[in-house]
């Protein structure tokens, strides 16, 4: 066993040999979660390394409850907290509800998604692939043990170190769904900056600042849209006040233009913004993009706000 602290909720990393009782832990705990979620819960899946026989893992049971309505989960948060969990909200992943619980050396992570969310399929494909491909399973175990030695007290660095491997398995598994995430990893930020600079700033001859203050301000959100394991589109949203949000930028990588990814990103952003309690989405749209937004239901709407572009139209939509 590679061991650091015994608290699974801490930033330390603990890797244990596969334990045959992990599936039983899942079954027992998932029944409690299902009861708390009530009729909104369709099913619950055991995911992550503890769901893969013969794979060493952090002794934390990950599970994915699938619900009919993700917003209704918020009405039973106190019931889940009564089971010993800490509610973490979306925790950086749009349309998720995330809960954590630690019990000594073992713990539970609950990732709740609405039926149809592509994250469900991605998790299950990864799990199923690893269960039947021994070589990949052994390579993953070796990687995790090596990362645990390198970063025994840095859970984030440990997780980031697995990203490339997980993306490789995602591709092998055949997953090709569209997922929207808030930019987090080095790879996501690199794609975010590259696409914005090339598609937005270079055409209008404005220098691009990879260290702009908005990148770290709490009311600004920076999104990437994956198609399978490839980032195809990026966006920047600002919350202006309690009712209004602004689409500061939207860009699709050159190779993926005119394939519907921009429209899909806008629809996901609208849904997410509405979930956050905002009713209006405004923007300074380039004249060349005006028809694109009008087809999505945007109309001229006052927006008194500075703009880096010389020629634009103020558009907005009631969500």
Q: Are 34 and 65 in contact (CB under 8 A)?
A: yes
Q: Where are the beta strands (DSSP E) in the chain?
A: 41-47, 60-67, 86-87, 96-103, 106-114, 178-182, 220-227, 230-239, 244-252, 280-286, 299-300, 312-318
Residues of the chain where predicted confidence (pLDDT) is lower than 50: 1-9
Question: What CA–CA distance (Å, rounded) separates 249 from 262?
Answer: 11
3-state class (DSSP) for residue 204:
helix
Q: Let me know if 149 is exposed, middle or buried by CB neighbors in 10 A (0-12, 13-18, 19+).
A: exposed
Question: What CA–CA distance (Å, rounded) separates 51 from 46?
Answer: 6
What domains are there in the chain, each with its CATH number? Answer: 22-172 (3.30.460.10), 178-318 (3.40.630.30)
**pLDDT at residue 3, as a whole number:** 30
**Longest CA–CA separation in the chain, Å:** 64
**pLDDT at residue 14, as a whole number:** 86
**pLDDT at residue 11, as a whole number:** 61
**pLDDT at residue 155, as a whole number:** 86
Sign of CA dihedral 63, 65, 70, 71: negative
Question: What CA–CA distance (Å, rounded) separates 178 from 12?
Answer: 32
Question: What CA–CA distance (Å, rounded) separates 272 from 224?
Answer: 13
Q: Give the residue carrying structure tokens 């689409």.
A: 247
**pLDDT at residue 5, as a whole number:** 32
**pLDDT at residue 1, as a whole number:** 28
- Cα angle 26, 32, 38; round to 5: 125
21's CB contacts (< 8 A; 6+ apart) are none
Question: What CA–CA distance (Å, rounded) separates 99 from 81?
Answer: 8
Question: What CA–CA distance (Å, rounded) separates 241 from 304?
Answer: 14
**pLDDT at residue 2, as a whole number:** 31
**pLDDT at residue 9, as a whole number:** 41
CA 213 to chain centre: 23
**pLDDT at residue 106, as a whole number:** 83
**pLDDT at residue 199, as a whole number:** 96
Q: Helices 118-132 and 163-172 sit at what angle, rounded to 10 degrees?
A: 90
**Tokens (6 digits) for 93:** 């992943």
């Amino acid at each position: 066993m590679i061991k650091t602290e015994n608290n699974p909720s801490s930033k330390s990393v603990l890797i244990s040999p596969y334990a045959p009782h992990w599936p039983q832990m899942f079954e027992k705990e998932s029944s409690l979660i299902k009861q708390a979620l009530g009729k909104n819960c369709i099913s619950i899946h055991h995911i992550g390394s503890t769901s893969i026989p013969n794979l060493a893992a952090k002794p934390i049971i990950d599970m994915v409850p699938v619900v009919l309505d993700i917003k209704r989960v918020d009405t039973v948060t106190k019931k889940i907290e009564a089971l010993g969990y800490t509610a973490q909200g979306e925790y950086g992943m749009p349309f998720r509800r995330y809960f954590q619980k630690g019990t000594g050396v073992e713990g539970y992570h609950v990732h709740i998604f609405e039926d149809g969310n592509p994250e469900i399929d991605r998790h299950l494909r990864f799990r199923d692939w690893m269960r039947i491909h021994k070589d990949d399973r052994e390579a993953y175990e070796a990687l995790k043990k090596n990362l645990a030695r390198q970063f025994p007290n840095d859970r984030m660095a440990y997780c980031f170190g697995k990203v490339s491997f997980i993306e490789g398995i995602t591709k092998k598994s055949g997953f090709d769904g569209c997922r929207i995430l808030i930019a987090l990893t080095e790879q996501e930020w690199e794609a975010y900056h590259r696409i914005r600079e090339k598609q937005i700033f270079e055409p209008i001859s404005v220098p691009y600042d990879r260290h702009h203050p908005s990148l770290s301000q709490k009311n600004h959100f920076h999104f990437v849209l994956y198609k399978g394991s490839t980032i195809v589109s990026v966006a920047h949203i600002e919350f202006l006040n309690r009712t209004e949000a602004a689409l500061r930028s939207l860009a699709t990588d050159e190779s993926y233009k005119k394939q519907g990814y921009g429209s899909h990103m806008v629809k996901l952003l609208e849904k997410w913004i509405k979930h956050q309690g905002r009713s209006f989405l405004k923007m300074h749209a380039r004249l060349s993009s005006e028809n694109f937004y009008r087809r999505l239901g945007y109309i001229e709407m006052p927006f008194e706000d500075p703009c880096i572009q010389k020629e634009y139209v103020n558009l907005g939509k009631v969500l």
